[in-house]
Amino acid sequence: MSRIGKKPVAVPSGVTANVTGQMVKVKGPKGELSLKVVDELAVEMAKDGVQVTPRVADRRSLAMWGMQRTLISNMVTGVSKGYTRNLDIAGVGFRAAVQGKNLQLQLGYSHDVVYPIPAGIDIKCEKPTMIAISGIDAQRVGQVAAEIRGFREPEPYKGKGIKYSDEVIRRKEGKKK
């Protein structure tokens, strides 16, 4: 039995959850999200929130139980608080700036890297070496952060590149003579 799946997803005030068949729609102050739950699980509104239960206790439904409940929980958190992922840029001359609907990155290449900002994602650059990515969908925020980090991943010798603000880069010692 899934410990996570057993817990109902609490719906805070200001957020409304609507369950229609296998479709779960969550609406809050920041926006609206929806999810189609897999057929092996049953979803219903309970007095204490959204309850997810497996229809049959087979291997696939038990595997999906906790994940689907967490996805619904992430939707509720996203429409109420939102998600933010911060990136730090390290390197001489490395910087970022938001220009219209594009993120302009100077990462030591012979050309600037232009990243079009997807719909539903907000990118801010407080400093030229800090990027804040925010949105209501946790998966999309993480995906955009991973794509931007992928343009110049941090290298272990000098630590240059784009890294998550909470990431620790293990540094290596250079060659000895």
Look at residue 1 in the predicted model and tell me its pLDDT: 66
Q: Cα(114)–Cα(54) distance, rounded to whole angstroms?
A: 45
pLDDT per 10-residue tile (average), the chain, 177 residues: 82 89 91 91 88 89 90 93 94 93 93 93 93 94 95 92 92 87
Q: Cα(37)–Cα(34) distance, rounded to whole angstroms?
A: 10
Asked if residue 78 lies in contact with residue 12, where contact means CB atoms within 8 angstroms, the answer is no
Domain end among 80, 112, 135: 80
Look at residue 81 in the predicted model and tell me its pLDDT: 92
Q: Are 73 and 91 members of one domain?
A: no
Comparing CA positions, the residue from 101, 106, 107 lying closest to residue 121 is: 101
Look at residue 89 in the predicted model and tell me its pLDDT: 94
Structural domain containing residue 58: 3-80
Asked if residue 98 lies in contact with residue 123, where contact means CB atoms within 8 angstroms, the answer is yes
Residue 172 lies in a domain: no
Look at residue 165 in the predicted model and tell me its pLDDT: 93
Beta strands 130-135 and 83-90, pairing class: antiparallel
Asked if residue 133 lies in contact with residue 126, where contact means CB atoms within 8 angstroms, the answer is no
**Chain-centre distance of CA 17, in angstroms?**
21
Domain end among 46, 80, 114: 80
